Chains A and B, each alone.
Chain A
Amino acid sequence: MVKISGIQVKNLVKSFQKGTVQACKNVNLDIAEGELMVLLGPSGCGKTTTLRCIAGLESPDNDDAIWIKGRNVTRLPPKDRNLAFVFQDITLFPHLNVRKNISFGLDMRKTCSKEEIDRRVQEAARLLHLEELLDRKPNQLSGGQAQRVALGRAIVMEPDAFLMDEPLANLDAALRIEMRTEIKRIQRKLLTSTIFVTHDQEEALTLGDTIAVMKDGVVQQVGTPYQIYHQPANIFVGTFIGAPPINLFPCSIQSRGTEMIAISDLFYLPIPEAIAKNLSLGSQNLTLGIRPEFVTIGPKLENSFLARVTLIEPLGSRTLIFLEAKGREIRSVVQGEAPVAEGEAVHVTFQMERVFFFDSTGKRI
């Protein structure tokens, strides 16, 4: 696959308070032209700092960290980077009406004719269903409308990239889902490179062409939503992504004839060939991870073990079942209604081809 270079972040280091706090430790990212990348991570992981470095709102420690279309922009002021930033708190200029807010960047740039500005504002307003609101002041807008105006202000710039810093965080749940779809639809239409920062994994999975998961200033994994979900690079990515979260059990590996077996106080499980070839015998301190949807409840099988149902949470189309065995909690998700009742003892089976193993450092094997 040939990617055309959009934005590159190379070995970005950014520290605060005279170097005592490192927000970004050697961050590398590569966003192709037209790609929508989501930066995902818990708060304080450095994702917003990374985005602000790209925008020019923070100054990285190293001189060649940020490249846009092959051009080193690390030390350029924000206004000379041809990027559009959408802020978490939306940040419309309260003293300007919607039209002036949208055209603010073009007005400042002074390279467009009046007609051109009008045309672009109209076009953006149509795209975002804002035609009726152009003469209102920001305090007369609802949260969703205000966010659309902020998007409009970004769109008319026809920038090299959109940078969005948790733009949906301040909206209520229903609106957030609606705007999420709208952002993706607009991005597909304009095919402008976009970096979208969020701490909401659902937002990340639904939006991103690629997702970069960050923690403690380090990029943990970059990949498609499916890769991130089904092939997490380490325990952190595995647990951070997925709701309800992944099940983790400490275990060790032993052999039984030609087979490899994962052993813990709870289970004794033969490992499929495809996974076993990466494992070495006698490994201690491993962690076995399995997502709840691959924990099945059913008849007694060869490798199943007994657990008690403690709690049932219907999730609509699916049901989350909490189980308990030997003091450990196990989560299982089944399609449709729960086949069991709270308090019942059931047989639990892991779909072994879906199991992950993490080594003692947390890396997936």
Chain B
Amino acid sequence: MIDTKPRTRETQFVSTREVGLWGRMLQGDRWLIILFLLPTLAFLIFLLWLPFLQGIWMSFHNWPFIGKPKWVGLQNYRDFVTASYFWTTIRATLIYSLSTVFQLGIALIAALALNQKFIPLKGIWWGIMLMPYAMPPVVTGAIWMYLLDPNLGMVTHYLIKLGILSEPIYWASDPTWAKWVITLVVSWTFWPFMFLIILSALQSIPESYYELAEVYGANLWQRFRTVTWPHIRGAVLAAFIIRIVWNLEKIDQPFQLTGGGPGYETSVLSVLTYRFAFLSGDFGMAFTVGIFLIAFMMILMIPFLRRFQILITQAGKRG
């Protein structure tokens, strides 16, 4: 049928180098991959891991804002653990992290309500619900500063008028109230994040599931338990874990509302980091506190880690 052309004649048209290069590129698209990964790699190295390691290095120093750092070994760590405010700050952090639970509560109510077919004007309510999250935290912080002001704030005024309070609470100087104020203000500000994730999970539930449940006579609570909850559980969990971490580092508002005070009563670990860095210019100590913050986050996340890992590997495999 066909003569096979002699090999030597053909090979001279295709140089071996090109052959090798293209062969590899097809298998791995090597150059494109390297080029495209460079920015991401640079980010991971220069903006995350190097600063992180640098921070650990700094925590072994007495490191002023300007001037020469001095090696002090574990002194910063010893100082912090033995400091009078150590347990105060840990307690504050614990209460502060409760805000994730409050956020979940509001987000669930809002998402479930807005996901009902019969609710009109959904777009408008959606826009309003996102307002606290959309605005800069310092803005919402300023708003609550005014509303909660013991002397001229609207909230105090009405609480007294309704007889719930007998006299204004000077929360900024009250250790217990200060903690609850910052926790609640942060909850009020950041719940729409969970709301967005839960709502889109709700919207992805096929209508036929509800119809089926209804045919089998499931009541409202049973429908929630057997259809809604299993479908949004994964999304809720993912959002919850992310928020635990993200809330603990939302310090714009605590810093603005109480400045970490009175004393150290509202100095959650992240606020304390910022206080040391920004107010005292003690960078070594600031990062030492940061290390404790990481440890704290990890301890909080242990119960969820196993489940989170499953979620992530699933997400990884999709790619």
Contact = CB atoms under 8 A, between A and B. Distances in A.
Interface of A: 3, 5, 8, 10, 30, 56-59, 63-64, 70-72, 74-77
B22 A64 contact: no
A198 to B, nearest CB: 25
Nearest to A80: B22
Top 5 closest pairs, chain A to chain B, by CB: A59-B26, A75-B19, A72-B10, A5-B2, A59-B23
A70 B9 CA distance: 11
Nearest to A64: B7
B27 interface: yes
B13 to A, nearest CB: 7
Nearest to B9: A72
Contacts of A72: 10-11, 13-14
Nearest to B15: A75
A22 B5 CA distance: 27
Interface in B120-164: none
Contact of B4 (A10, A71, A76): A10
B179 to A, nearest CB: 52
Interface in B25-40: 26-27
Given A59-B26, A64-B7, A3 B19 contact: no
A77 B26 CA distance: 8
A349 to B, nearest CB: 41
Contact of B10 (A5, A57, A64): A64
B15 to A, nearest CB: 10
B207 interface: no
Interface residues of B, number: 15
A30 B2 contact: yes
Nearest to B24: A59
A6 to B, nearest CB: 10
B182 to A, nearest CB: 47
Given A3-B1, A59-B23, A71-B13, 14 more contacts: A3-B2, A5-B2, A10-B4, A30-B1, A59-B22, A59-B26, A64-B7, A70-B5, A72-B11, A75-B14, A75-B19, A75-B22, A75-B23, A76-B14
26 contacts: A3-B2, A5-B2, A8-B2, A10-B4, A30-B1, A30-B2, A57-B26, A58-B26, A59-B22, A59-B26, A59-B27, A63-B19, A64-B7, A64-B10, A64-B11, A70-B5, A71-B10, A71-B13, A72-B11, A72-B14, A74-B19, A75-B14, A75-B22, A75-B23, A77-B22, A77-B26
A76 B1 CA distance: 26
A323 B2 CA distance: 48
Nearest to A58: B26
A56 B27 CA distance: 11
A212 to B, nearest CB: 15
A121 B213 CA distance: 52
A261 B22 CA distance: 60
Contacts of B27: 59
Nearest to B22: A75
Contacts of B26: 56-59, 77
Contacts of A8: 2
A70 B4 CA distance: 8
B22 to A, nearest CB: 5
B17 to A, nearest CB: 10
Contacts of B19: 63, 74-75
A5 B22 CA distance: 26
B281 to A, nearest CB: 53
Nearest to A70: B5
Contacts of A75: 14, 18-19, 22-23
